[in-house]
Structure 1
Amino acid sequence: MKQNFTVRQGALDGVEVFLSVAQHRSFRKAAAELGVTPSAISQTVRVLEARIGAALFIRTSRSVGLTEAGEQFLARAKPAFEELVAASEVARGLGQRPAGLLRLSVPRAVIPILLELVASFCRAYPEVEVELAASKEVTDLAAEGFDAAVRQGHLVAPDMVAVPMTPPFRLIVVGSPAYFAERSRPAHPNDLRQHACLRWRRSNGALALWSFNDNDNDNDQTIEIAVAGPLIASDFPTVLGAAIEGLGLAQLPEPLAAVGLRSGKLVEVLEAYAPLRPGVFLCYPGRRQIMPKLRAFIDHLKSRAAGDGKVRVQADASRAGSRKRG
């Protein structure tokens, strides 16, 4: 079959003109309403009637009426056109102010870190609903209908715009006080072979190796160690919970373990060997216009990050002043 490389005229061409003429029963009044000439109205109606294949109006020198085909067309076209206009207004509203559904693809392990940010955003923008779709897969944002994704630095594609959500963080090894009550603390990564280690399986099916700084050689390289233990999970939160229960040691992003460390439920070991990771980023395609809901989320994220930075600077300055006075 020969392909047609031209776009055919739309089925809606001329419908607005038809509805205006049908409402006013006048070509002249329809022209005044739409801001065009009466001859332009007549030409548009003639083209519409030719495309449909039926006369829609009965014209006399004194009046304009509808044919039976015109009555049938009006009965169906009017509500459909009004619905189309309403849909355009809804879309225009979403393009002018932060509103609607903001869909984010997020690794399950990162969700606990995001909750405070999302909660403050929802309070600031009540017309926006946030959906956090937890997945360990690297999703196709356009194909899956997501506005943006949260990803670790090494997973950010080159064609994505990336906004930092966290500073770089350490990958640390932790265990519970109950676990260490029965075992000595490891002093070197090689000592992990004598410990129960809680592992996690990557989305590709492989068991993740544990990474460490190679402090034994002055080359700024990392070493990877295959560990063993009683539990394998597919996400960090499960591994974290098992570590708190004393089942074994876990290697986790420091922000995820921060609450457990502050509460004393977890203890860090092998601090000197902890590698640094590039942090977490909000990513979105840069080739398309950013909807106001996503722009608001980005601005809120940057504002919170700037505020947190000021707090840290002030706190550091206060501690420095206290040391100086002391």
Structure 2
Amino acid sequence: MNERIDAPMAEIAVFVAVAQTGSFTRAAEDLGSSKSNVGKAVQRLENRLGTKLFQRTTRAVRLTEDGETYLAAAQDALDGLREAEQQLAARRSEPVGRVKIDLPAGFGRLLLPSFIQLREKYPKLTLEMALTDRMSDPVGEGWDVVVRIGTLPQDSELTVRKLCDLRLGLYASPDYLERRGKVMSLAALTDHDAIVFRGPSGRLRAWTVQDGTHIREVSLSPVLVLADGQALVEAAVAGFGITQILDRVALPYVRSGRLIHLLPEADTDGPPVHAIISLGQKMAAKTRAVVNHLADTLQQTAE
């Protein structure tokens, strides 16, 4: 302990040490201070409280009635502080507390079931999620983790971790293909109904396809235009037509037989997926657990 003991909490700690040892000398030894400083700290506390806490004799130091009352309260307070310190230390090493996550709408619905496993692994973790396709502000809006697809703005206040790469492919439902016929080539797309995504800029997103050794864009007259990524998938599953979506989003529907992957050779590289984390001190264990879970889950969906 520092030789200067003038903070009220420090004075309380000195008082408790004297009460527990029954001696100013032994309390000073335990605290690494001097008998004089210990005596002054107790005196300051008594002056602040306006009462005597100890009866002092040449042979012993005993608590007064007021001292006994104050000791009980002081021990409760110090015990509470020690418990809080232990909890804070645990938070640094164990994922504990709330993590706010902002996810793209379609990706969020894809990943949502996997968070059950995360909760089972870390039962002291609480998750708060938003599913939105807009570019959220991690710092200004208080998000711990923002997951976004595509090119990210440069920002020195943010740290970014790449979670995975994506592929873009063409998909349609079995019912639609049964009604309209199979798609055997890129040229045949012009005879089919297209479901097209309208991006945040307001522009329709053309399909990017691999045509032999070249990558080119295919612009079709859509029968349905949607600005929601999940709605794009649901429209394809419902049989509206063919759409181009991300492989990780489409995979569960392909495995369940609700979508069919068309012309796999026409797939192209899609945008990367990043986790955006606000900079600060060392990343909290709870945030790291969520980011690691996202990366592991997205890796598994590709296998």
* TM-score where L is the length of structure 2: 0.71
For the pair 1:281 / 2:271, whether they are aligned, the reply is no
Please tell me whether the aligned partners of residues 198 and 232 of structure 1 are also in contact (alpha carbons under 8 angstroms). Answer: yes
Aligned-residue offset at 1:86: 0.9
AA aligned opposite 1:237: Q
- 2:76 aligns to what? 79
Kindly provide the CA deviation profile for residues 51-101 of structure 1, in whole angstroms up to 9, marking residues without a partner as x. Answer: x36345345333445567656644544323321221111111222334444
Distance in 2, matches of 1:73 and 1:251, equals: 72
- 1:149 aligns to what? 146
- 2:30 aligns to what? 33
Secondary structure of 2:251 counterpart: helix
For the pair 1:54 / 2:54, whether they are aligned, the reply is no
Query: Where does 1:59-138 land on structure 2 (aligned, <5 Å)?
Result: 59-62=55-58, 63-65=60-62, 70=67, 73-74=70-71, 76-114=73-111, 118=115, 121-122=118-119, 125-129=121-125, 131=127, 133-136=129-132, 137-138=134-135
* TM-score where L is the length of structure 1: 0.67
**Equivalences, count:** 292
Query: Where does 1:309-324 land on structure 2 (aligned, <5 Å)?
Result: none
Please tell me whether the aligned partners of residues 138 and 276 of structure 2 are also in contact (alpha carbons under 8 angstroms). Answer: no
Aligned-residue offset at 1:244: 0.8
Match of 1:209 among 179, 204, 207: 204
For the pair 1:20 / 2:17, whether they are aligned, the reply is yes
Which ranges in structure 1 are unaligned for 5 or more consecutive residues?
1-8, 313-326
Please tell me whether the aligned partners of residues 161 and 274 of structure 2 are also in contact (alpha carbons under 8 angstroms). Answer: yes
Query: Where does 1:230-269 land on structure 2 (aligned, <5 Å)?
Result: 232=226, 234=228, 236-269=229-262
Match of 1:45 among 25, 42, 47: 42
Secondary structure of 2:206 counterpart: strand
Query: Where does 1:130-209 land on structure 2 (aligned, <5 Å)?
Result: 131=127, 133-136=129-132, 137-142=134-139, 146-155=143-152, 158-159=155-156, 160-167=158-165, 169-183=166-180, 187=186, 191=190, 195=193, 197=195, 199=197, 202=200, 207=202, 209=204
Aligned-residue offset at 1:45: 2.8
User: Structure 1 residues 226, 36: closer, same or farther in 2, change over 3 A?
Assistant: farther
Percent of aligned pairs with the same amino acid: 24
Please tell me whether the aligned partners of residues 237 and 258 of structure 2 are also in contact (alpha carbons under 8 angstroms). Answer: yes
Kindly provide the CA deviation profile for residues 199-254 of structure 1, in whole angstroms up to 9, marking residues without a partner as x. Answer: 4675xxx65622333889x997868778452x7464x3333222111133333212
AA aligned opposite 1:253: L
Distance in 1, matches of 2:252 and 2:273, equals: 18
For the pair 1:291 / 2:284, whether they are aligned, the reply is yes
- 1:4 aligns to what? none
Aligned-residue offset at 1:284: 1.9
Distance in 1, matches of 2:272 and 2:63, equals: 67
Q: 126-135 or 280-289, which moves further after superposition?
A: 126-135
Please tell me whether the aligned partners of residues 173 and 249 of structure 1 are also in contact (alpha carbons under 8 angstroms). Answer: yes
Distance in 2, matches of 1:115 and 1:227, equals: 30
